[in-house]
Structure 1
Amino acid sequence: MKPASFSSHWIFLAYLVLTFYCLGAAVMNEFVEYQSWADLGPYLSAADFAAWHLATAQHIMPFLTVPTVLLSGVLVLLCWQRPPAVPRPALWLALACHAVFWASTVFVQWPLEGALSEGQFSSDLMTRLLRTDWLRKVLLLVEAPLAVFMAHRVLHAASAVPGRDLAWR
């Protein structure tokens, strides 16, 4: 087994951190933002809801959207700088999760959120947003144990090399 490069370990570490950060942020977004829209939306006028949606949605960009884009980029980079202990099929499965995640985001979530931004709030629209968003969360929930599996493989390989400590140099 060829030794992993310094950069592949740091890329993998970034992948692990971003995977669990994005999973937590997505779940938090569901239970804080989306649920507050669903709970308070019926009590606001269309114009007030649209203004509120736009005001709160802009805060998602730095805390969820940007890290999710970074996670996808790091995952692609990891395909080129893969630690040898990480199985290629695991990376392909993670990439498939990201492809479906972004397809759902672009073709389902963004149009629904766009309608909300235009003041088209309805219980049906919120129900569709909440239900379809769970597809993205399930994909993250599939990827999280996959990331743990890959981390286990990397750490096991690192500890099996004689004379090498677990520090990622």
Structure 2
Amino acid sequence: MKTTAFPSHWIFLAYLVLTFYCLGAAVMNEFVEYQSWADLGSYLSAADFAAWHVATAQHTMPFLTVPAVLLSVVLLLLCWQRPPAIPRLALWLALACHVLFWASTVLVQWPLEGALGQGQFSPDLMERLLRSDWVRKVLLLLEAPVAVYMAHRVLRPVRGDASPHILLPVQGAPSNACASA
């Protein structure tokens, strides 16, 4: 069984998976980590909160930050290896979401989290962190339909053809042939 998969389709698949993973991880981060900080922060001393913040925040790195960086890298790769079915405008919209996401992360979220990590907890600071984090989630929520639209474009048949744009292997097909599924 031989497959003839275009690199752009694998890149797009990685983009699609990472987009929805990052959206889910961002929402979970809000309801698990940030809400627990908001709920328990006022009961802890500044030093205890800072230690707790640093201990819990380091666990988000492999599950939220690294996939978000990978998603941005994959999106940039997708800009260079764009499947023909994906309109450039859709990629530009997704890229704009990422630029704004990272601007919010670097300019707003990280400084607020830095203050929390130094023991500067206050209900006002926590409220600003929670509100500003919704900017990032809204950007991911805006990007999700764009990703679905791109997936629809990649997977839909071309001009009445019954096959999608992605070539899949067919078991029992000659080794030099690929059939469309």
TM-score by length of 1: 0.93
The 10-residue stretch of structure 1 (27-36 or 5-14) with the greater mean CA deviation from structure 2: 5-14
The answer (yes or no) to whether the contact 1:85–1:153 under 8 Å persists in 2 is yes
Displacement of 1:165 after TM fit?
8.4
Q: Is the counterpart of residue 134 in structure 1 residue 140 in structure 2?
A: no
Per-residue deviation at 1:159?
9.1
Q: TM-score of the superposition, structure 2-length normalised?
A: 0.87
Distance 2:165 2:104 in 1: 42
Q: Distance in 2 between matches of 1:163 and 1:110?
A: 46
Deviation for aligned residue 1:161? 4.8
Structure 1 residue ranges, 4+ long, deviating more than 6 angstroms after superposition: 162-165
Q: Which amino acid aligns with 1:40?
A: L
Highest CA radius of gyration, 1 or 2? 2
* Structure 2: distance between partners of 1:90 and 1:40: 42
Structure 1's 132 and 123: CA in aligned 2 closer, same or farther, altered over 3 A? same
- Please report how far the alpha carbon of residue 168 of structure 1 lies from its aligned counterpart in structure 2 after TM superposition: 4.0
1:9 is matched with: 9
- Kindly indicate whether the alpha-carbon contact (under 8 Å) linking 2:157 and 2:164 is maintained by their aligned counterparts in 1: no
Counterpart in the other structure of 1:123: 123
Whichever residue aligns with residue 89 of structure 2, its letter is P
Quote the residue 1:53 is aligned against.
53
CA RMSD of aligned residues (A): 1.9
* % same residue: 78
Matched ranges for 1:1-169 at <5 A: 6-157=6-157, 161=161, 167-168=167-168
Distance 1:146 1:164 in 2: 19
Give CA deviations for 1:24-77 in whole Å, capped at 9, x if unaligned: 000000000000000000000000000000000000000000000000000000
**Amino acid in the other structure paired with 1:103:** A
CA displacement at 1:163 relative to structure 2: 6.9
Asked if 1 retains the 8 angstrom alpha-carbon contact of 2:155 and 2:164, the reply is no
Greater shift in the superposed pair: 149-158 or 102-111: 149-158
- Per-residue deviation, 1:150: 0.4
Aligned length: 166
Deviates more, 1:38-47 or 1:149-158: 149-158
Distance 2:157 2:103 in 1: 35
Instruction: Measure, in 1, the Cα distance between the counterparts of 2:163 and 2:30.
Output: 46
User: Residue 154 of structure 2 contacts residue 164 of structure 2 at CA under 8 Å; is this kept in 1?
Assistant: no
**What is the match of residue 179 of structure 2?**
none
Quick one: distance in 2 between partners of 1:102 and 1:64?
13
Q: Is the CA contact (8 Å cut-off) linking 2:112 and 2:129 kept in structure 1?
A: yes
Question: Residues 72-124 of structure 1, C-alpha deviation per residue, up to 9 Å, x if partnerless?
Answer: 00000000000000000000000000000000000000000000000000000
Do the aligned residues in 1 keep the contact of 2:155 with 2:165 (CA within 8 Å)?
no
Please state whether the residue corresponding to 2:156 is helix, strand or coil: helix
Unmatched 5+ residue regions in structure 2?
170-181
